[in-house]
């Protein structure tokens, strides 16, 4: 599994006793590596159970406030599930969190959002010549996208009026009920249930992903 982000876990009980026990770890990892990391690096035992995520790196769309006091197992599950998403699904999750305000969500809610990425009403801008629009504003991209989608651009072309139409202003008109982002737009009626998947169901999803990855590695090894 490719790295999603890194965390630095630190044992609080040892810290209060005057020593620092902890280190960085890249996520996701297998459950076995997580168990060994907790035992051998963070030094979690019956008398030193409490720890915090003292630092993070490349955390992507997820807020540190949701990570800091979460269990490493849950954080690793988040990294496993997020790593299983394709680029469009990841973009949809990022758009949803950016629009809704990521800081309000706990780790279970973030897991649920990732697992329901296909239910997020996010769409990428799509129009002829989009590859030349890197420096254009979201309003302009939305204007051209919607003009082509509803057939307006075709009608303007027939009239020879495309150079006289204000695509930026037209795209801006959609911002009243859409969130216009850098690469796409979000319609604010996504049917996300933040409590749809229970802890047990999330664990099942994670195990499915791990088993799938294991089988894919076996196939790669056979092919080599």
Which residues span the domain enclosing 37? 5-118
Angle between helices 107-115 and 72-83 in degrees, nearest 10:
20
Residue 220 has pLDDT above 50, yes or no: no
The predicted pLDDT at position 221 comes to: 47
State whether 147 and 83 are in the same domain: no
> How many independent structural domains does the chain possess?
2
Confirm whether 200 is domain-assigned.
no
Name the band, by pLDDT with cuts 50, 70 and 90, for residue 190.
low
pLDDT of 150-186, one tens digit each? 999 999 999 999 999 999 999 999 998 899 999 999 9
State whether 88 and 15 are in the same domain: yes
What percentage of the chain carries pLDDT values higher than 70?
95
Q: What is the mean pLDDT of residues 141-145?
A: 97
- Per the model's pLDDT, the better-predicted residue between 72 and 101 turns out to be 72
- Per the model's pLDDT, the better-predicted residue between 208 and 221 turns out to be 208
The predicted pLDDT at position 218 comes to: 56
State whether 10 and 103 are in the same domain: yes
Element (H, E) at 179: strand 178-180
State whether 154 and 105 are in the same domain: no
Specify the residue for token string 């005057």. 18
Element (H, E) at 13: helix 12-16
The predicted pLDDT at position 222 comes to: 46
State whether 52 and 140 are in the same domain: no
Question: Tokens in use for 144?
Answer: 């051209």
State whether 158 and 78 are in the same domain: no
Confirm whether 204 is domain-assigned.
no
Least confident of 28-42, 92-106, 130-144, 151-165: 92-106
pLDDT of 14-70, one tens digit each? 999 899 999 999 999 999 999 999 999 999 998 889 999 999 998 889 999 999 999
Average model confidence (pLDDT) for the chain?
92
Name the band, by pLDDT with cuts 50, 70 and 90, for residue 217.
low
């Amino acid at each position: 599994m490719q790295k999603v982000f890194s965390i630095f876990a630190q044992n609080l009980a040892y810290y209060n006793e005057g020593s620092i026990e902890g280190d960085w770890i890249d996520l996701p990892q297998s459950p076995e590596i997580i168990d060994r990391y907790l035992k051998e690096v963070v030094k979690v035992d019956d008398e030193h159970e409490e720890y915090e995520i003292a630092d993070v790196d490349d955390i992507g769309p997820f807020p540190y406030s949701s990570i800091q006091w979460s269990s490493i197992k849950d954080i690793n599950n988040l990294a496993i599930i997020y790593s299983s998403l394709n680029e469009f699904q990841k973009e949809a999750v990022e758009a949803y969190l950016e629009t809704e305000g990521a800081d309000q969500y706990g780790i279970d809610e973030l897991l649920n959002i990732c697992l329901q990425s296909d239910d997020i009403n996010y769409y990428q801008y799509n129009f002829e010549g989009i590859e030349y629009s890197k420096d254009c504003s979201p309003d302009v991209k939305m204007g051209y996208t919607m003009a082509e989608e509803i057939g307006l651009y075709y009608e303007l072309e027939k009239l020879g009026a495309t150079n006289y139409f204000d695509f930026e202003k037209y795209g801006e008109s959609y911002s009243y009920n859409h969130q216009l982002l850098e690469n796409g737009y979000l319609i604010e009626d996504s049917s996300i249930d933040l409590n749809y998947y229970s802890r047990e169901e999330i664990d099942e999803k994670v195990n499915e992903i791990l088993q799938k990855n294991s089988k894919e590695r076996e196939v790669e090894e056979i092919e080599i």
